[in-house]
């Protein structure tokens, strides 16, 4: 039951902005695009340090309760496909208790990175060793669809729209 509650809290933290706004009408932040050109099969070079900074900022903004839904979707791989899933979990008031903290980023290729993070509930570490994937898509480092679907899957229950 505790595992379910932790997973639910994390999922809810992901989506609280689906039903709220930051009050100012402006997005909490915008996705950080890579400072290097989009990788191609003939140009696999990448500034790893810059990518790690951008991944961390985009990841934490995605998981922030202050980021509006439309902005969250720009941080998420296949965001439009997963919009219903993000909205669905955004109605629970417990979402304001959960946040994510990026611990480390490992860029594994010009288009993929492993992200180690923690889930916090009311500022206390509840899930210390979470691991997800960031992907470089459309000039932006994004949370992978598989990472979000994996988190949503921890809550059990019905089929998740888009996953």
Mean pLDDT confidence for 105-120 = 93
pLDDT tens-digit profile of 40-60? 333 346 889 999 999 999 988
User: Percent of the chain having pLDDT more than 90?
Assistant: 36
Q: Of residues 80 and 38, which shows the higher confidence score? A: 80
For 84, residues 6+ apart whose C-beta sits below 8 A from its C-beta are 161, 162
Whole-angstrom distance between the N-terminal and C-terminal Cα of the chain? Answer: 24
- 135: in domain: yes
Burial letters for 51-67: b for 16+ Cβ neighbours within 10 Å, e otherwise?
bbebbbbbbbbbbbbbb
- 163: in domain: no
pLDDT of residue 31 exceeding 50, the answer is: no
- 30: in domain: no
Structural domains counted in the chain:
1
Q: Is the dihedral of CA 132, 80, 3, 63 positive or negative?
A: positive
- 132: in domain: yes
- Could you give the CA distance from residue 67 to residue 16 in angstroms, rounded to a whole number? 9
Most confident of 17-31, 54-68, 133-147: 133-147
Helix 145-153 vs helix 2-15: crossing angle, to nearest 10: 140
- 117 confidence band (pLDDT: 50, 70, 90): very high
- 54: in domain: yes
pTM: 0.72
pLDDT of residue 9 exceeding 50, the answer is: no
- 41: in domain: no
- Could you give the CA distance from residue 68 to residue 108 in angstroms, rounded to a whole number? 29
- 33: in domain: no
- 76: in domain: yes
The CATH number covering residue 89 comes to 3.10.450
In terms of residue numbers, what domain contains 100?
2-22+47-153
pLDDT of residue 27 exceeding 70, the answer is: no
Query: CB–CB of 113/147 below 8 Å?
Result: no
CB neighbourhood size of 86 (10 A)? 24
- What pLDDT, on a 0 to 100 scale, did the predictor assign at position 26? 35
């Amino acid at each position: 039951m505790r595992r379910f509650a932790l997973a639910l809290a994390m999922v809810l933290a992901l989506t609280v902005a689906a039903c709220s706004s930051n009050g100012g009408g402006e997005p909490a932040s915008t996705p950080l695009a890579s400072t290097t050109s989009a990788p191609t099969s003939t140009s696999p070079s990448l500034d790893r340090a810059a990518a790690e900074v951008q991944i961390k900022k985009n990841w934490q903004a995605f998981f922030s309760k202050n980021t509006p839904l439309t902005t969250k979707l720009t941080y998420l791989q296949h965001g439009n496909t997963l919009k219903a899933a993000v909205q669905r979990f955004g109605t629970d008031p417990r979402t304001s208790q959960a946040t994510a903290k990026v611990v480390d980023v490992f860029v594994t290729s010009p288009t993929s990175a492993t992200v180690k993070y923690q889930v916090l509930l009311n500022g206390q570490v509840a899930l210390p060793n979470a691991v997800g994937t960031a992907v470089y898509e459309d000039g932006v480092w994004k949370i992978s669809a598989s990472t979000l679907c994996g988190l949503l899957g921890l809550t059990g229950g019905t089929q998740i729209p888009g996953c």
